[in-house]
Amino acid sequence: LPLYSVFTVDAIALPRLQKANLEGVLGSKNTQTWSPDLDNAANKKFVSAYMAKHGGYPSFYGAQAYDSIMLIKSAVEAVNGDLSNKDAVRNALRAANYDSVRGRYTYGNNGMPIQNFYLREVTKDSEGRWTTKVVETVYTNHQDRYAKDCSL
């Protein structure tokens, strides 16, 4: 019986689950805004560098942290390092003008990302390590349902 989950089955849990030989996890499905197999240059570079340094797949949280730093870097560069103009910094952050590991996304009127969501499945890679792979795109450029009620 496959395990169904929203966020908990990823690179944080999978090595331990594999070590415990809990094969019921294989074939489990979950949804997420990122997966290590997303086909874009930024993601390939991030996953490759992470695996070379740490010997395993990055988690969603690692991808999110990487994106956060790249977003901040893009904003600082957009204002030429001058952080005194808060409106310019805020606008540069909202522009999200960088190569995200998630692929291109934008921000909605309420400051929440408008982005894709993917159905992922737990599988084995070519070396037998457990990981997730995208099965299909569940939402394309999805905006949260509360955006109409909240603007910044």
Query: For a pLDDT cut of 70, what percent of the chain falls above it?
Result: 95
- pLDDT of 135 reads 98
- pLDDT of 36 reads 98
- Mean pLDDT, rounded, for 6-16: 81
Which of 118, 145, 111 shows the shortest CA–CA distance to 134?
118
- Mean pLDDT, rounded, for 123-142: 97
- Residue 138 main-chain phi, psi, to 5 deg: -80, -45
**DSSP-derived secondary structure for 69-107:** HHHHHHHHHHTTT-TT-HHHHHHHHHHT-S--TT-S-EE
* pLDDT at residue 5 greater than cutoff 80: no
* pLDDT at residue 76 greater than cutoff 60: yes
The one-letter amino acid code at 5 reads S
What DSSP designation does 125 have? -
Lowest mean pLDDT among 4-13, 64-73, 102-111, 133-142: 4-13
- pLDDT of 150 reads 86
- pLDDT of 151 reads 77
Decide: 44 and 66 in contact? Cβ < 8 Å: no
d(CA 116, CA 136) in angstroms, rounded, equals 10
- pLDDT of 3 reads 56
* pLDDT at residue 44 greater than cutoff 80: yes
pLDDT digits (tens, 9 = 90+) for 78-129: 999 999 999 999 999 999 999 999 999 999 999 999 999 999 999 999 999 9
